[in-house]
């Protein structure tokens, strides 16, 4: 097998490994520099846990690309020994707040700071850090290892910020993510964006942004290939992107000293040091609302065949077939590795019948030794798309050997969510109360589509009479739901003296406009009838001569206007001493009217009382007894007990003490 065929087979093998290292293969550790690390066989996230610059992160390779030793243990975002040079800025009503812990170092020193309310920790495959800004915003940072769009491997990091307005009025919110990018030892490799190889201060606006950008030092023998994602599945496109030197971005927490055409020479110093800033322009965020800002950065996948004209091509490993009008970017890089000028270099793409593009062939002109050229084709799918297909890119020149590369593209369907709601417990009535209350409502979300559902949010909508339990939030964030994945989401809900069949609904939203409302109609709460029962306060063994207190408790008393209670006890077992008024006859620390109970007949106590208008549950009274014979203690309701109701269909349940 020749070298070219071997490399093609090697890349097909790499794509077949796309699910070999997933979330289940993550490791978590705290290193000797007090950094929290979350990684796998390809890549690792490193987050600063110190108070100084807490929450700032770096990204490094572990094993990097399979079978390529040159990119092992290399930085992609600078951060050794502790991350501090990259930082994120929140624009709040014209003020600039730096995410995470305060620092006196150069990067972000000019910004304001909130308070870290949750130091970095790992949960559900992400490193999460939270900051409170002026009791106005809760900003959460989520760093998660995800698939690269071009390698198909879990070798990229999703960088997500969720900003929630916790104030009672709207605020104008924007965000900037600044990354101090680095390729191993190379701090000034060109940013390759579309047809551009950017090495000077440059700005791009949303409509100019390609799906992804890449950076590498060589096509013939790359040490590290990085990639950032601007648009496409799983990210929120920035409104603008600036490329400049790190020093200028470190000093300017939002705007900075930006000079189009100026090389990436670190401000105030004499070293090439590149950085990238992604901006989401300020927009109003209403009270209680949240907004996510998401981008990806990690390793990039380029299929390379070395030669005198070394050729590398890249395109998404998987393409979501959600719109026939969306183009697929195919990018080719050509490097003249010979010692002579390559003359009249031409490059062409050979597409299967299911794909189409314009300008099949491009003339690159002459390439000097060591020069790299790049070209982009926008490829469009046809009507009959297979599950996977391949295309070929060929490069040739008048005075060198030709070269070609084959690359595969897989086509996947959109996400498709099914969901249902259920009550997790068996809700019953015990002594007039719903038990349990609060109870658990669970929504089960299952993605039966062909691709992930990104940044999912689900809100529980409750009818009157049902409320969220204390400390519970109506909106939950399951995050990304992979194809075939089933995710449960739970809420604790309390019923407020309500019964019957109640409608429940959930409002489900996700990135890229996904929205579905699923309604559940079968929550039935049993009827709550008025209940009166006895409750012995003292526990443990009783002896003759002891004094005991027995409460008369009532539940669901709203429909009772008057109660005429007759309570029987055995005079040889108990001696009635006194009846004190209960909690329903107290309001705002003051006593309500109370009629003295009748003890005139032995073995019988009569309590005749008007029920206070606002009484719902509590003690009606407490009977104080002296114990004569502890083995014969019983209390029961005499048949003379009677009630007057404010409606006719009320039934009271009376429970005895035995």
Whether the per-residue pLDDT at 189 is higher than 90: the answer is no
* CATH tag, 86-299: 2.70.98
Longest CA–CA separation in the chain, Å: 124
**What per-residue confidence (pLDDT) applies to 19?**
44
What is the Cα–Cα distance from 135 to 124, expressed in whole angstroms?
27
Q: Are strands 560-569 and 590-591 parallel, antiparallel or unpaired?
A: unpaired
Angstrom distances, CA of residue 48 to CA of 52, 144, 534, 653: 8, 15, 59, 62
* Fold agreement (303-412, 531-655): yes
Tens digits of per-residue pLDDT, 252-293?
A: 999 999 999 999 999 888 889 999 999 999 999 999 999 999
**What per-residue confidence (pLDDT) applies to 434?**
93
What is the Cα–Cα distance from 201 to 195, expressed in whole angstroms?
16
Whether the per-residue pLDDT at 15 is higher than 50: the answer is no
Whether the per-residue pLDDT at 202 is higher than 70: the answer is yes
Q: How far apart are the first and last CA of the chain?
A: 91
With beta carbons less than 8 A apart as the criterion, state whether 337 and 304 touch.
no
Q: What is the DSSP letter of 465?
A: T
Burial 412-438 (b: 16+ CB within 10 A, else e): bebbebebebebeeebebeebbbeebb
What is the Cα–Cα distance from 49 to 45, expressed in whole angstroms?
13
Q: How much is the average pLDDT of 228-249? A: 96
With beta carbons less than 8 A apart as the criterion, state whether 42 and 280 touch.
no
Q: How much is the average pLDDT of 354-361? A: 94
Whether the per-residue pLDDT at 200 is higher than 80: the answer is yes
Q: How much is the average pLDDT of 136-141? A: 98
**What per-residue confidence (pLDDT) applies to 112?**
97
CATH 2.60.40.680 fits 531-655, yes or no: yes
Whether the per-residue pLDDT at 532 is higher than 70: the answer is yes
Whether the per-residue pLDDT at 22 is higher than 80: the answer is no
- Other Cβ atoms within 10 Å of 475 Cβ, number: 14
**What per-residue confidence (pLDDT) applies to 16?**
39
What is the Cα–Cα distance from 257 to 239, expressed in whole angstroms?
19
Strands, sheet with 57-61, edge to edge from the N-terminal-most edge strand: 27-30, 35-39, 43-48, 57-61, 75-77
With beta carbons less than 8 A apart as the criterion, state whether 400 and 308 touch.
yes
Nearest to 533 by CA among 556, 562, 500: 556
- At residue 106, the 3 state secondary structure works out as coil
What is the Cα–Cα distance from 552 to 641, expressed in whole angstroms?
14
Q: Give the helix/strand (H/E) hosting 365.
A: strand 361-367
Q: What is the DSSP letter of 232?
A: S
With beta carbons less than 8 A apart as the criterion, state whether 56 and 111 touch.
no
Question: What secondary structure, in 3-state letters, does 284-311 show?
Answer: EECCCCEEEEEEEEEECCCEEECCCEEE
What is the Cα–Cα distance from 514 to 528, expressed in whole angstroms?
41
Tokens of 399: 């005075």
**What per-residue confidence (pLDDT) applies to 569?**
96
Tens digits of per-residue pLDDT, 614-631?
A: 889 999 999 999 999 998
Q: Are strands 95-98 and 112-113 parallel, antiparallel or unpaired?
A: parallel
Kindly report the backbone phi and psi dihedral angles of residue 302, in degrees, each rounded to the nearest multiple of 5, phi listed first.
-125, 125
With beta carbons less than 8 A apart as the criterion, state whether 619 and 580 touch.
no
Report percent pLDDT > 70 for the chain.
Answer: 96
- Other Cβ atoms within 10 Å of 563 Cβ, number: 21
What is the Cα–Cα distance from 145 to 174, expressed in whole angstroms?
25
Whether the per-residue pLDDT at 102 is higher than 50: the answer is yes
Backbone φ/ψ region at 226: left (φ over 0), alpha (ψ -120 to 50), beta = beta
State the pLDDT confidence band at 17, using cuts at 50, 70 and 90: very low
Residue 526 burial (C-beta neighbours within 10 Å; 0-12, 13-18, 19+): exposed
346 CB-side CA count, 13 A: 10
Each domain of the chain, given as residue ranges in start order, spans: 86-299, 303-412, 417-525, 531-655
Whether the per-residue pLDDT at 407 is higher than 70: the answer is yes
Q: Are strands 417-423 and 428-430 parallel, antiparallel or unpaired?
A: unpaired
Q: Are strands 171-179 and 87-92 parallel, antiparallel or unpaired?
A: antiparallel
State the pLDDT confidence band at 5, using cuts at 50, 70 and 90: very low
State the pLDDT confidence band at 539, using cuts at 50, 70 and 90: low
Report percent pLDDT > 90 for the chain.
Answer: 83
Residue 154 burial (C-beta neighbours within 10 Å; 0-12, 13-18, 19+): buried
Q: What angle do CA 230, 376, 398 make, to 5 degrees?
A: 150
Q: How many helices (H) and strands (E) does the chain have?
A: 2, 52
Tokens of 144: 């998660």
Whether the per-residue pLDDT at 469 is higher than 90: the answer is yes
Would you give the distance in Å from CA 337 to the centre of its chain? Answer: 46
**What per-residue confidence (pLDDT) applies to 14?**
42
Superfamily of 303-412 according to CATH: Immunoglobulins (2.60.40.10)
**Dihedral Cα 85, 88, 94, 95, nearest 10 deg:** -60
Superfamily of 417-525 according to CATH: Immunoglobulins (2.60.40.10)
Q: What angle do CA 144, 147, 149 make, to 5 degrees?
A: 130
Residues in the chain, overall count = 658
**What per-residue confidence (pLDDT) applies to 197?**
94
Instruction: Tell me the average pLDDT of the chain.
Output: 92
């Amino acid at each position: 097998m020749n070298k070219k065929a071997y490399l093609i087979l090697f890349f097909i093998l790499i794509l077949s490994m796309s699910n070999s290292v997933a979330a289940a293969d993550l490791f978590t550790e705290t290193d000797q520099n007090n950094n929290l690390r979350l990684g796998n066989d390809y890549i690792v996230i490193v987050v600063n846990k110190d108070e100084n610059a807490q929450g700032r992160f770096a990204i490094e390779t572990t094993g990097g690309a399979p079978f390529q030793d040159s990119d092992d243990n290399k930085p992609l975002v600078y951060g050794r020994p502790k991350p501090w040079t990259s930082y994120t800025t929140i624009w709040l009503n014209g003020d600039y707040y730096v995410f995470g812990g305060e620092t006196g170092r150069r990067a972000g020193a000019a910004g304001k700071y909130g308070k870290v309310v949750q130091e970095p920790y790992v949960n559900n495959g992400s490193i999460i850090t939270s900051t409170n800004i002026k009791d106005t915003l809760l900003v959460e940072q989520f760093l998660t290892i995800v698939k690269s769009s071009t390698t198909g491997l879990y070798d990229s990091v999703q960088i997500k910020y969720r900003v929630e307005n916790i104030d009672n009025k709207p605020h104008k919110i924007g965000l900037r993510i600044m990354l101090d990018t680095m390729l191993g030892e190379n701090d000034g490799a060109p940013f390759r964006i579309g047809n551009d190889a950017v090495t000077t201060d440059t700005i791009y606006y949303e409509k100019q942004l390609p799906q992804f950008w890449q950076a590498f030092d060589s096509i013939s023998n790359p040490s590290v290939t990085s990639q950032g994602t601007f648009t496409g599945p799983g990210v929120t496109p920035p409104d603008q992107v600036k490329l400049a030197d790190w020093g200028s971005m470190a000093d300017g927490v939002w705007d900075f000293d930006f000079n189009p055409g100026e090389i990436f020479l670190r401000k105030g110093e004499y070293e090439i040091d590149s950085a990238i800033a992604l901006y989401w322009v300020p927009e109003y965020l209403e009270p209680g609302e949240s907004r996510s800002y998401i981008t990806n950065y990690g390793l990039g996948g380029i299929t390379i065949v070395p030669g005198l004209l070394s050729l590398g091509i890249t395109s998404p490993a998987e393409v979501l077939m959600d719109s026939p009008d969306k183009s697929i970017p195919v990018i080719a890089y050509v490097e003249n590795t010979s010692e002579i000028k390559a003359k009249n270099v031409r490059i062409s793409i050979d597409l299967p019948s299911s794909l189409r593009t314009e300008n099949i062939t491009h003339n690159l002109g002459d390439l000097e030794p060591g020069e790299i050229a790049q070209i982009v084709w926008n490829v469009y799918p046809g009507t009959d798309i297979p599950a996977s297909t391949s295309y070929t890119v060929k490069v040739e020149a008048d005075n060198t050997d030709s070269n070609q590369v084959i690359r595969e593209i897989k086509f996947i369907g959109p996400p498709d969510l099914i969901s249902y709601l259920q009550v997790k417990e068996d809700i019953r009535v015990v002594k007039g109360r719903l038990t349990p209350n609060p109870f658990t409502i669970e929504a089960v979300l299952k993605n039966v589509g062909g691709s992930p559902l990104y940044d999912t949010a689900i809100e529980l909508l409750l009818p009157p009479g049902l409320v969220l339990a204390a400390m519970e939030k109506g909106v939950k964030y399951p995050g990304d739901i992979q194809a075939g994945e089933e995710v449960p989401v739970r809420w604790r809900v309390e019923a407020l003296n309500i019964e019957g069949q109640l409608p429940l609904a959930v409002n489900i939203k996700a990135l890229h406009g996904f929205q579905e409302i699923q309604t559940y109609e079968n929550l039935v709460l049993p009827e709550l009838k008025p209940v009166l029962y006895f409750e012995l306060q003292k526990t443990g063994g009783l002896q003759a001569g002891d004094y005991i207190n027995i409460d008369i408790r009532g539940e669901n008393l709203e429909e009772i206007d008057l109660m005429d209670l007759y309570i029987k006890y055995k005079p040889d077992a108990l001696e009635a001493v006194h009846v004190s008024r209960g909690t329903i006859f107290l309001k705002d620390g003051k006593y309500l009217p109370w009629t003295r109970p009748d003890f005139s007949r032995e073995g019988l106590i009569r309590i005749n009382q008007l029920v206070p208008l606002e009484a719902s549950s509590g003690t009606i009274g407490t009977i104080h007894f002296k114990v004569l014979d502890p083995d014969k203690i019983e209390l029961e309701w005499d048949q003379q007990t009677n009630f007057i109701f404010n409606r006719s269909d009320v039934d009271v349940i009376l429970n005895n003490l035995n």
